[in-house]
Amino acid sequence: MSADPAAAESWKLTLPCTREEAEALSDDIGLLAMLDNPPALMTSEVEPDDPLQWRLDAYFEGKPGKETIALVRTLVPSAAAATPILEQLPAEDWVTLSQQGLEPVAAGRFYVRNMASDPEQAGFRNYLITAGQAFGTGQHETTSGCLRMLDRARRLGHRFGNIVDIGTGTGILAFAAMHLWPRAYAIASDIDPVSVEVTEKNARVNAVPLGNGGGQLALVTAAGAHHPAIIGRAPYDLIIANILAGPLIDLAPSLCALLEDGGTLILAGLLDTQADRVVAAYRRQGMRLADRIDNSNQHGQWPTLRLRKRPTIGRQRPVRVATQVTGETPGFGSW
């Protein structure tokens, strides 16, 4: 029996929204979740650092009806008076296609390809991170900036033995940290279970050992740092968090509680105009800014920050993560 032609069609519905509405969509898609075929939702900035100028793209298999379009509208109340844009697309995986054909990236000692047909480069640690459903193929400035910052930390002689990557995306930053400090214990988490599956696949493709021992990468699905496996391994001497400015600020108390005195924190996913607020949030937790790399593209500047936790003066007590610090910040995704 032949397939229904309408079922093979891909349609995109576009509406304006605010950043607050966009962030809320990561946690709750309302009644759309009850549909047999829920749409894939993607949000993006229209004007950099303008919280009112965001956009929602909803991708459907088959043309959505008036009732379904009305459900999408309920997710973005600010667009009540806006005319939705509905267009038919070829039946493709648009998240994957948006990453295909990107040029390989050299960042520090790392060379990241997203197509197997691209040749490896001598003198680099090569990684193949194929296009897929998680962010972090290395091409975005936040990811390449973190790779450069990790490389710089190693060149400066830093040594780490207990590492966590919060919001791992494709796993590339955790992989890079393990290459630089191969005996370290490492764990990577993401709020999106698909990202955790992608990271596991990428680990096998790139010969990154998985497991709970030294030199192995453990994987968990978690909102922020709220997971027994993450808390149980604390304190960490290196924490990597490449997410968004808002969640980074919200996570400041819990991330710093997981970090040992003198430990290092690498933050990214923020714009230049947001850096002061992020740094201020971590200074209130006893951190100091130790290094910064600025990365630019057509949408603005994306700084990568390296902070150090100030040592406690006097006798150091055993570290315990406070029970009231959950480390949850719903509604964020990884870069």
Number of neighbours of residue 157 by Cβ within 10 angstroms:
6
Distance CA 72, CA 67 (A): 9
Residue 108 and residue 64 share a domain? no
- Among 6, 94, 90, which Cα is nearest to 58's? 94
pLDDT of residue 273: 86
- Alpha-carbon distance of 257 to 266, in angstroms, equals 15
Best CA proximity match to 304, nearest among 182, 153, 176, 160: 153
Residue 223 maps to a domain: yes
Residue 314 lies in a domain: no
297 neighbors 248 (Cβ within 8 angstroms): no
Asked whether residue 317 is assigned to any structural domain, the reply reads: no
Highest mean pLDDT among 24-38, 57-71, 90-104 belongs to: 57-71
Residues 142 and 287 in one domain: yes
Domain-embedded: residue 176: yes
Q: What phi, psi does 318 have (nearest 5°)?
A: -60, 140
In a domain, 332, yes or no: no
Identify the pLDDT of residue 310.
86
Residue 89: per-residue pLDDT: 73
The amino acid that residue 166 corresponds to is I
DSSP 109-128: TEEEESSTTSPP-TTSEEEE
Q: Are residues 15 and 86 in the same domain?
A: yes
Same domain, 289 and 145: yes
Question: Domain range holding 42?
Answer: 5-92
Whether 190 has a binding-site annotation, put simply, is: yes
Q: What average pLDDT does the segment 152-157 reach?
A: 95
Q: Which two tokens stand for residue 229?
A: 């496996």
Residue 246, H or E segment: helix 245-258
Does the annotation list 168 as a binding residue?
no
Within a domain: residue 318?
no
Domain count, the chain: 2
Task: Please calculate the CA angle 101-193-179 and round it to the nearest 5 degrees.
Answer: 65
- Indicate the pTM of the whole model: 0.66
Write the CA distances from 92 to 3, 10, 84, 88, integer angstroms. 16, 7, 22, 11
Q: What is the CATH number of the domain that holds 16?
A: 3.30.70
Instruction: Give me the percent of the chain exceeding a pLDDT of 70.
Output: 79
pLDDT recorded at residue 17: 93
- pLDDT-derived band at 31 (thresholds 50, 70, 90) equals confident
pLDDT of residue 118: 82
Assess whether 285 and 249 both reside in one domain: yes
Mean of per-residue pLDDT scores for the chain: 81
68-115 pLDDT, tens per residue?
Answer: 999 999 999 999 999 999 988 764 544 444 444 446 788 999 999 887
Grade residue 209 by pLDDT with cuts at 50, 70 and 90: very high
Q: What local confidence, expressed as pLDDT, does residue 2 receive? A: 34
Indicate if 33 and 106 belong to the same structural domain. no
pLDDT tens readout for residues 254-295: 999 999 999 999 999 888 888 999 999 999 999 999 999 987
- Domain CATH code at residue 193: 3.40.50.150
Residue 49 counted as an annotated binding residue: no
> For residue 229, what are the contacts with CB-CB under 8 A and spacing of at least 6?
187, 218, 220, 222
242 annotated as ligand-binding: yes
> Are 135 and 9 found together in one domain?
no
With CA atoms as reference, report the closest residue to 250 among 312, 190, 326, 140. Answer: 326
Q: Examine the fold and report which residue of 77, 92, 107 is the final residue of a domain before the chain moves on.
A: 92
Alpha carbon distance 150, 173 (integer Å): 8
At residue 111, φ and ψ (nearest 5 deg) are: -130, 115
Cβ neighbours for 27, distance < 8 A, ≥ 6 positions apart? 330, 331
Domain end residue (candidates: 92, 125, 156) = 92
Angle made by CA atoms 242, 247, 132, in degrees to the nearest 5? 45
Q: Is the peptide bond before 84 cis (omega within 30 degrees of 0)?
A: no
pLDDT for 169-202, tens place per residue?
889 999 999 999 999 999 999 988 888 998 999 9
- Give me the DSSP letters along 91-104: S--HHHHTTTTPPP
Give the H/E segment covering residue 260: strand 259-268
For the beta carbon of residue 2, count every other beta carbon within 10 angstroms. Answer: 4
User: Are 47 and 109 within one domain?
Assistant: no
In terms of Cα–Cα distance, which of 36, 37, 56, 35 is closest to 45?
56
Instruction: Tell me if 157 is assigned to some domain.
Output: yes
Hey, is 183 helix, strand or coil? Answer: coil
- Any domain includes 27: yes
| Judgement on whether residues 86 and 229 belong to the same structural domain of the protein | no
Q: In this structure, are 172 and 109 located in the same domain?
A: yes
319: pLDDT strictly greater than 80: no
Last residue of a domain, one of 70, 92, 114: 92
Same domain, residue pair 154 and 15? no
For strands 236-242 and 259-268, give the pairing: parallel
Q: Are 47 and 66 in contact (CB under 8 A)?
A: no
Rounded to an integer, the average pLDDT of 237-247 is 92
Whether 162 and 178 map to the same domain: the answer is yes
